[in-house]
Structure 1
Amino acid sequence: MLRFVTGNDGKLREARAALDDDVTQFSFDYTEIQSHDLGAIAAHGAREAYREVGEAVMVEDSGLFVDALDGFPGPYSAYVEDTLGIERIWRLTEPEADHAAAFRSLIAYCDGSAFGSAPTIRDGDPPVAIFEGRVDGQIVAPRGEGGFGYDPIFEYDDRTFAERDPDEKNEYSHRGRALDAFAEWYDGEGDADS
């Protein structure tokens, strides 16, 4: 069983869908370092959670990177959503000519060992395997009733993520892509190591 460090039920559902329900939620409030680098944030969280539980853990960090806002809110997306709200991000972007944006997600996996073929952050101990997912789209006025977070203002292929059912969203989402990359590695190589 893989421990996913999250308090977000939506993220947990997406992880269980990608990893065939072989995921349990682990509630642990790790220190979220302040950094412009999603990889550094996720790796730090995975190391700290691994030290707490002593078993393999997975942490996910993601952000919405808006081109017209020089990548803002990026790694600060959760804080910005909580303090400003998604409609203000739309209003900041609306007058701009460029509405391009990208959702990026990083899965950080730590089990206390080194990794074979997985992309790995080794600037700390223990090493952390990193898997990235990205989807490019644009910022639009809020639409749709589904999803969570920035889903109502992020449009991909003429529909927002909030206008898609969960399975369809997972097929296209940044987190779904990162989870798929992780699942492929974990089912093949990673699972054998733990």
Structure 2
Amino acid sequence: MRLVVASGNSGKLGEFRDLLGAGGIDFVAQGELGVLDVEETGLSFVENALLKARNAARATGLPALGDDSGLCVDALAGAPGLYSARYAGGHGNAAANIAKLLAALEGVPAARRTAHFHAVIVVLRHAEDPQPLIAEGSWHGRVLETPRGSGGFGYDPVFLDPESGLSAAELDPARKHRASHRGRALAALQPQLARAFAR
């Protein structure tokens, strides 16, 4: 089955392929099919994921997967949250986003730097699908004072996984997939996909 992924983020696309690729799904990035990003005007992760998936499904006629995720920091009342990718202004400038986050948390002690990543993944069988598949996952940890590690993407270098004592950027990909918000959401999505596309 061919599924268009409503994202240009190569890191995310790789995670989808690693975690769901064995299910006979051929993931294709929307950019490869000439689909442009849709404006993220939703007021929740679910709304934004649906907007992305519907835009990709409508433009291609294929089933589409959309996701939205972000880092929610308790000491910042849940920010950057929905605006994680564009926290510092431009979209996807990880270094600038991390710098702004660390500046906002300057002087906040480790015990109060708790945070979690949250991911929502939706799949539409077609653009007008009234019953989208929806899966969510969260990954709890805290924000480090300085970046560590060179793997991953986004806020990974400053997110501490309490179970391993490593930053998300220091975890090997397999371990990160098991622990991460996106990995958990994809694990929850897998049986839904199998049921929905078996018919």
TM > 0.5 between the two? yes
Tell me the distance in 2 between the aligned counterparts of 1:94 and 1:136.
Answer: 20
46, 56, 73: which one pairs with 2:80?
73
* Equivalent in the alignment of 1:173: 180
User: CA contact under 8 A between 2:116 and 2:138: conserved in structure 1?
Assistant: yes
Tell me the distance in 1 between the aligned counterparts of 2:168 and 2:88.
Answer: 16
**AA aligned opposite 1:2:** L
State how 1:35-184 maps to structure 2 within 5 Å.
Answer: 35-80=42-87, 83=90, 84-97=96-109, 98-112=112-126, 126-140=130-144, 141-157=146-162, 158-184=165-191
**AA aligned opposite 2:54:** R
Runs of at least 5 residues in structure 1 that lack an aligned partner in the other structure: 114-123
- CA shift in 2, pair 1:175/1:81, >3 Å: farther
Tell me the distance in 2 between the aligned counterparts of 1:146 and 1:56.
Answer: 31
Q: Secondary structure at the match of 1:75?
A: helix
Count of aligned positions: 182
Tell me the distance in 2 between the aligned counterparts of 1:95 and 1:34.
Answer: 33
| TM-score normalised by L of structure 1 | 0.86
Runs of at least 5 residues in structure 2 that lack an aligned partner in the other structure: 91-95
User: CA contact under 8 A between 1:68 and 1:99: conserved in structure 2?
Assistant: yes
Q: Secondary structure at the match of 1:58?
A: strand
Deviations 1:124-161 (A, max 9, x none): 86442211011111000211111111000111122110
* Equivalent in the alignment of 2:93: none
| Percent identity of paired positions between Structure 1 and Structure 2 | 36
Higher mean Cα deviation, 82-91 or 31-40? 82-91
| TM-score normalised by L of structure 2 | 0.84
Q: Secondary structure at the match of 1:135?
A: strand
Deviations 1:58-98 (A, max 9, x none): 01111000111111111111111564420220231232241
* Equivalent in the alignment of 1:118: none
User: CA contact under 8 A between 2:42 and 2:51: conserved in structure 1?
Assistant: no
Higher mean Cα deviation, 1-10 or 130-139? 1-10
Higher mean Cα deviation, 45-54 or 19-28? 19-28
Tell me the distance in 2 between the aligned counterparts of 1:81 and 1:178.
Answer: 26
User: CA contact under 8 A between 1:152 and 1:161: conserved in structure 2?
Assistant: yes
Higher mean Cα deviation, 37-46 or 85-94? 85-94
**AA aligned opposite 1:12:** L
Aligned CA RMSD, in angstroms, stands at: 1.9
Tell me the distance in 2 between the aligned counterparts of 1:36 and 1:100.
Answer: 23
